[in-house]
Structure formats: C-alpha cells, structure tokens
Amino acid sequence: MPTAVLPLKCSSILLLGMIACLWVSCENGRRHPDLIAGNPHGGSVYFFQFPDSTFMNKILVRGVPLPYQPSKYYIRKGRFQFPCYPKNLEGQSLFGELAMGVNEEMDYMYGDFYKLEDLVESPKYIALKGGYYISYPFTTLAPGGTFIDAEWEDLLTINLDTVEVYSKVGFFFNGITERKLVELTKKSTMHFKGKSDEMITIDDVVEVLNEIIETNTIKEHCYGISWGGFDWE
C-alpha cells in the first residue's frame, strides 16, 4: 500500500507562481479524445504538483454554480461547496460503473460517500516520484479545486464567507485515462477488459504513474488539463 502524506502545518504562505510541473503535449484545456462525449471512454486519474509544499494543507474549495442546484455529490458550506464522493478504500476497484459525463463527474470513480468531518484530519494525498501527488482516498478532491487561506484542520470552524481565496493560483494536471491504465497494467475495470480479470486499484495506479514519471514518458501516455483559480470578488 502506498504511503499517504499527512497534512503539513504552516504559519504563513508565499505564492511562488503557478504550479511547476512537467506539462504534456496537448494544448491547455483540450480534453483527451477518450473523454469526448460519444466515444467509448472511461474515467481519468490526475496527478499534479503543488505551487509549494505549504499548499498541501490548504483547503481546496469548489464554487457554487448559479442557479444553485443541490447535488448528492457535493456538500455546500457558505459560498463554497465540497465534493463528498468518492472515498476509495484500500483494495477497492478504483473505477466505478458509469463513465464521466454520463451523469456527473464523480460517477466514473468508485468508493463511498463521506462527510466534511472526514476531510479535517484524514490524509488527502499520496506522494509519487518527482514531486507529484495524487488525491487519495478522496479521489476527486483536487481536480477543479481552488485554494483558500485556511487549513483543513479549521474547516468546520472557519468563516468561509470572509476567508481569502487564492484566485490567481492554478493547477496543472496530468491525466491518464482508464483505458490507458488497463493497457499498461493488463488489469480490468468495469468498462474495459484487460488480460487479467483483477480490477485496477490505487496500488496499480501509483505503480504505473511512478514508472511513467521515472521514464519521462508523460507525454506518451498522458494528457494535460489546466485549471485556473476563480476571481471570487
């Protein structure tokens, strides 16, 4: 089982710029062909680097779309919302039955629903090679998130209506599709049959991503998505 990284405490934060990461060959914002509606596709796993290590304990929020429509996949708190699905457990299949875009973005990952309380003290990331990280066990926590000037341990007590939002801090994500993971691991998901009937788990994904990073083949196997912070003023 890969080692989960516990949140780091920090007393101050210095923004050093956009996330420094190896970027892939596709243009910013262009989705991989596997993810275009109508194609036989699957989900994706995203890995990324933080702007600097102090951001590892900063809360990530999502905006509340207007007009607001409640979703079973989100919990609203003040002017923000937080994903509450899925929390993947050790040994579980990582990918779910539905594909991204069928209903909502969380449908393609597998796990259990969770509460905000679970985000306060639980580890949130697994460290990969090369300074990269992956969100785990809350697998959809980082993609699409924006940092605020507060730490996870204060999530339940902080006034989210007045907290500063780091609107200029963006994320660069490297994504690898479910189908590509089946190809590389030789294992299966609910969408794709590999040489083995064994289902892909987080351990398999970590092993593959570390190999890709170490062999400098990110461009060959992955695609890129840029996610910029919002101006919340």
DSSP reduced 3-state for 34: helix
pLDDT of residue 16: 28
pLDDT of residue 232: 44
Mean pLDDT, the chain, whole residue set: 79
pLDDT of residue 192: 86
The model carries a pTM of 0.78
pLDDT of residue 92: 87
Cα separations in angstroms, 121 against 73, 85, 117: 20, 17, 8
| Residue stretches of the chain with pLDDT short of 50 | 3-39, 99-106, 230-233
pLDDT of residue 107: 52
DSSP E strands: which ranges in the chain? 4-5, 44-48, 58-63, 74-77, 80-83, 125-127, 133-135, 146-151, 171-177, 223-227
pLDDT of residue 204: 97
pLDDT of residue 43: 83
Specify the length of the chain in residues.
233
pLDDT of residue 171: 74
Rg (CA), the chain: 17
